[in-house]
């Protein structure tokens, strides 16, 4: 009987395995941040499954819209359009108001920055991360 460890799978896949692992961990962390934002504004369907699907839809729509608009217009136009679409996605899927969706998105963005700073301190080391933040 052969038992595979997650490390064996990543080593077998090489660099692409590490990339896939990073993408999966990122989506999981973003799902928790979005779930916290939606719960804070008292939205519905705050279980992990619907929030994960909302986050996945937001990521896909944002990537597609930013790419398409980036071909013909400045990049910021695509970012603004994708932000507005993300607000409508949160509003529709979690039955909240437009300002509630905006609040959830703001909390989501703040949580992403907090997670990035924590991970920076953990993986880059305290002194290096502190110097990067201060410069």
Could you tell me the residue range of the domain that residue 58 belongs to? 14-134
In a domain, 45, yes or no: yes
Inside any domain, residue 9: no
pTM for this model (two decimals): 0.71
Per residue in 53-66, pLDDT tens?
998 898 888 889 88
User: For residue 98, with 0-12 CB atoms within 10 Å meaning exposed, 13-18 middle and 19 or more buried, which class applies?
Assistant: exposed
Instruction: Say how many domains are in the chain.
Output: 1
pLDDT tens by residue, 10-22: 677 666 767 777 7
Q: Whole-angstrom Cα distance, residue 78 to residue 62?
A: 8
Residue 56 lies in a domain: yes
> Is 66 inside any structural domain?
yes
The residue assigned the tokens 């924590």 is: 118
Q: Is residue 1 part of a domain?
A: no
């Amino acid at each position: 009987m052969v038992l595979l460890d997650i490390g064996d799978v990543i080593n077998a896949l090489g660099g692409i395995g590490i990339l896939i692992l990073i993408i999966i961990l990122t989506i999981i962390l973003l799902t928790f941040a979005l779930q916290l934002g939606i719960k804070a504004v008292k939205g519905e369907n705050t279980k992990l499954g619907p929030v994960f699907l909302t986050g996945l839809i937001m990521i896909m729509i944002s990537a597609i819209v930013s790419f398409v608009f980036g071909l013909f217009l400045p990049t910021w136009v695509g970012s603004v359009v994708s932000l507005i679409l993300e607000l409508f996605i949160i509003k529709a899927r979690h039955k909240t108001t437009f300002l509630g969706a905006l609040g959830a998105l703001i909390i989501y963005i703040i949580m992403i920055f907090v997670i990035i700073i924590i991970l920076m301190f953990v993986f880059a080391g305290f002194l290096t991360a502190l110097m990067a933040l201060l410069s």
